[in-house]
């Protein structure tokens, strides 16, 4: 006598028996061997369900929270960056208009400032390409990255108020802040790259 296959026994456990299972059901009712196999299948599934829950060895919440907060800060930074960019464009337009009526004073600062801004943009692009928000990191890396992002945010806030500074000192102040920003971004890139090499990403 042909006994039921494992596929047939499993099909009989599915809710809403399919049309093809009627014959299998009839066989099961009349075959002690298949009935025993079916019961063992039930028991195996019950034992699987009764296995004790496995628990993580470490509390991962601090890492999850740090990463989520870093992501939120990065989103805010990007938004602030866009606003800052728009403000910078308006100021540049104003300066340009004033420049058409006033003789310009040659200085080395604007060139260095442009260089620092370009470097800052390049570093941000490098970080964006790395997609830090989609990476899994250890707690220490997350904390370091978070501190650096906080300091970058603080520099950005200072940059937004440099317009209020004395015109004679404004460019130098701005240049120093942009240089600091570049240094911090450099460090942030290093953190990401070091971590990447550690976990082989």
Partner 1 sequence: MDSYLLADTKTVVAQAKAGDPAGFEALYRAFEIPVYNLCRRICRTAEDAEDVLQETFLEICRSIGQFREDGSLWGWVRTIAASKALMRLRRNKYRDTEELNDEVVGQRREDTHLRMDLEAALERLSETSRAVVWLHDVEGYTHEEIAAMMGKTPSFSKSQLARAHTRLRRWLGEEVAA
The residue ranges that bind partner 1 (CB under 8 A) are 3, 5-7, 10-11, 33, 36-37, 40-41, 44-45, 47-49, 51, 53-58, 60-61, 63-65, 67-69, 71-72, 136
Distances (CA, A) of 20 to 8, 37, 45: 9, 19, 23
Beta carbon nearer to partner 1, 33 or 107: 33
> How near is the Cβ of 29 to partner 1 at its closest, in Å?
18
CB 175 within 8 A of CB 116: yes
Beta carbon nearer to partner 1, 16 or 96: 16
Q: Which two tokens stand for residue 93?
A: 């337009």
As a whole number of angstroms, the distance between CA 12 and CA 38 comes to: 9
Taking the C-alpha atoms of 68, 74, 75 and 78 in order, what is their torsion angle to the nearest 10 degrees? 180
> How near is the Cβ of 46 to partner 1 at its closest, in Å?
9
Beta carbon nearer to partner 1, 67 or 192: 67
Distances (CA, A) of 167 to 37, 47, 102, 170: 89, 78, 15, 5
Beta carbon nearer to partner 1, 47 or 131: 47
> How near is the Cβ of 180 to partner 1 at its closest, in Å?
29
> How near is the Cβ of 25 to partner 1 at its closest, in Å?
18
């Amino acid at each position: 006598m042909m006994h039921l296959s494992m596929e047939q026994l499993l099909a009989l456990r599915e809710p809403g028996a399919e049309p093809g299972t009627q014959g299998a059901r009839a066989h099961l009712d009349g075959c002690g061997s298949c009935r025993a196999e079916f019961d063992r299948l039930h028991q195996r599934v019950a034992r699987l369900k009764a296995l004790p829950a496995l628990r993580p060895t470490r509390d991962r919440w601090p890492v999850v929270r740090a990463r989520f907060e870093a992501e939120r800060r990065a989103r805010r930074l990007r938004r602030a960056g866009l606003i800052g960019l728009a403000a910078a464009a308006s100021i540049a337009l104003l300066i340009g208009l004033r420049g058409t009526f006033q003789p310009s004073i040659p200085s080395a600062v604007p060139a260095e400032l442009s260089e620092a801004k370009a470097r800052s943009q390049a570093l941000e692009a490098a970080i964006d390409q790395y997609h830090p928000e989609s990476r899994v990191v250890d707690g220490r890396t997350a904390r370091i990255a978070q501190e650096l992002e906080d300091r970058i945010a603080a520099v950005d806030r200072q940059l937004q108020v440099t317009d209020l500074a004395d015109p004679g000192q404004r460019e130098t102040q701005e240049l120093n802040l942009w240089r600091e920003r570049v240094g911090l971004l450099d460090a942030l890139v290093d953190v990401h790259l070091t971590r990447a090499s550690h976990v082989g990403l």
